[in-house]
Amino acid sequence: MNNVNYIKIENGKYYFKLEDILKKKNISINKLMRDTNTDFKVIKKLMTGDLARIDITVLARMCDYLECDITDIFEYKRD
């Protein structure tokens, strides 16, 4: 998990791991954009954690495409 960003919120941290999974699977952001029909800005926000809401439809597309679970893309851990 070298390419994991996190954001501290209240009593825990959100870990954003999309960049890590893309590197492991050797998938570029451009390929992910094209193959999942997802906007570049949305993907970057899922990578950095710079977001206020998460679209569950986008997450479902990502999970299906990457053959992973939501917790492989991001997760919350209490302190």
CATH number for 57: 1.10.260.40
Domain count, the chain: 1
pLDDT tens per residue, range 38-72: 999 999 999 999 998 899 999 999 999 999 999 99
Gap between the Cα atoms of 39 and 32, Å rounded:
9
17-42 confidence digits (pLDDT tens): 999 999 999 999 999 999 999 999 99
**pLDDT over 90 percentage in the chain:** 85
Cα of 51 vs its chain's centroid, Å: 11
CB atoms within 10 A of CB 27: 14
pTM for this model (two decimals): 0.88
Predicted pLDDT of residue 66: 98
Domain that holds residue 48: 5-78
In whole angstroms, how far apart are CA 2 and each of 19, 33, 77?
Answer: 9, 22, 17
Around Cβ 15, how many Cβ atoms within 10 Å? 18
Identify the pLDDT of residue 31. Answer: 98
Outline where 3-55 has alpha helix (H): 18-25, 29-36, 40-48
Task: Give residue 2's pLDDT band: very low, low, confident or very high (50, 70, 90).
Answer: confident
